[in-house]
Chains A and B, each alone.
Chain A
C-alpha cells in the first residue's frame, strides 16, 4: 500500500542554518503531496503542497519539489528561525478507497536554538 517515510528527528539547528527534512513516498499513480506543521500544543497547519510532478510548493520561506523520479518531496528552508521549532509531517493523498485519505509520515521534530 501507499506509505510515507520521513527522516527521523529530532533535528537540532542554530538560527539561520539551512534546513532539509527528507521525505520519500511509495504510491500507485501520482498522489498529491503535502507538508503539514504542528506547533507545540496546536493542531496541524498546511504548510505547502504539490499536486503533480515537478511542481514546487512554497510558503513562509519553506519549499519542496515533487520529484517523481526519486519519489521524494524534501522540505527545505534557507534560514530557519526559533519560531520554526515544531513537528513537520509529510503526507500524500490516497484515493484508492474512493475518498481522499491522507497517509502521514512519522513526523520530524525540529528544534531551532538562538
Chain B
C-alpha cells in the first residue's frame, strides 16, 4: 500500500481566487493521479502527473484551470485556478502500486463561495 497525505484537508474560498493542494507520498512513485469528486458524484480523473514531464489531462480539464507540478518522486501539487462555486468538490490524489492498484489520499474538501 502507500501512506499519502494531502494539505489542506478542507478549505472555504472566495470565487476568483486560487487554491493549491499538496500531495505527499511516503515512498517514490512514478505516476501520481488527481481526481475530482463533485458533491454526491463519483470520481473523475483530472490528470496524470509524471515526474519531470508535463501532466496529461483528461478530456474536459485544461492546464490553465488545473495546473499541476511534480517536482520529485514523492510530491505533487494541484492548483484550482480562478475558482467558481462549480469547483466545490473533493480533490483526491492517488498513486499506483502493484497490479494496477491505486491508493488514495484522504482528499481535500473545497467549498467555493
Give the B-binding residues of A (Cβ under 8 A): 31-32, 34, 36, 42-46, 49, 51, 89, 93, 95, 97, 99-102, 104-107
Give the A-binding residues of B (Cβ under 8 A): 1, 31, 33, 41-45, 48, 56, 58, 90, 92, 94, 96, 99-107
**A36 vs B105: C-alpha distance in the bound complex, in angstroms?**
13
**A88 vs B33: C-alpha distance in the bound complex, in angstroms?**
20
- B residues within 8 A CB of A42? 106-107
A100-B100 contact given A43-B107, A44-B43, CB 8 Å threshold: yes
**A51 vs B58: C-alpha distance in the bound complex, in angstroms?**
25
- B residues within 8 A CB of A36? 104
- A residues within 8 A CB of B45? 101-102
Q: What are some 28 contacts across the A-B interface (CB < 8 A)?
A: A32-B100, A34-B101, A36-B104, A42-B106, A42-B107, A43-B105, A43-B107, A44-B43, A44-B94, A46-B1, A46-B103, A49-B101, A51-B100, A97-B56, A99-B56, A100-B31, A101-B33, A101-B48, A102-B33, A102-B43, A102-B45, A102-B102, A104-B42, A104-B43, A104-B44, A105-B42, A106-B41, A107-B42
